[in-house]
Amino acid sequence: MKIYVSYKQSWVPEKELEKSLTFLREEIEKLWNKTFIYFLDADSEKPATELVEIFKSEIEKSDLFFCFINHKKPSEWQLMELAMAYAMNKKIILYVNDEVKDSYFLTYWVASHTFYFKNFKKDLKKILG
């Protein structure tokens, strides 16, 4: 099974993002074969038009779309990825920081499952456990 992981990159310190995404990958890959996490797997210097094609291709190849939401300000890229996954009829899991769930304008009905977390690592282990 391949999991596409969507996340917000803008306004997030690179070290914090890398640490969170690496942990997320390790936990998911304990259960499933492979993840695609753009920040860890691809060249971030590509032009936007190429990025869209990469995202589309990787979402098409994935069995599940895992959307990690940890910040109040929505990401246009993340919403675009979510829309692609929804249009492709992918199973969608939203993993949402409890502190931002009310401020985020995301429509939660698109998800197969939505999980809220207070402690990123501890709660992720619980839902995957």
117 contacts 97 by C-beta, under 8 angstroms: yes
Q: What's the chain's length in residues?
A: 129
Q: How far apart are CA 46 and CA 13, in angstroms?
A: 20
Q: Does position 9 have pLDDT exceeding 90, yes or no?
A: no
pLDDT digits (tens, 9 = 90+) for 112-125: 888 888 988 888 88
Q: What residues have CB less than 8 Å from 82, skipping those under 6 apart?
A: 6, 65, 67, 92, 106, 110
Supply 27's token pair: 């936990």
Inform me whether the pLDDT recorded for 127 exceeds 90.
Answer: no
- For the chain, list the domains and their CATH numbers: 2-128 (3.40.50.450)
**Residue 65: predicted pLDDT:** 94
Tell me which residue of 73, 64, 61 sits closest to 111, measured CA to CA.
Answer: 64
Tens-digit pLDDT profile for residues 33-60: 788 988 888 766 778 788 889 899 999 9
pLDDT value of residue 17: 84
Query: pLDDT tens digit string along 56-108?
Result: 999 999 999 998 888 777 788 888 999 999 999 999 988 888 888 776 655 66
φ/ψ bin of 34: left (φ > 0), alpha (ψ from -120 to 50), beta (otherwise): beta
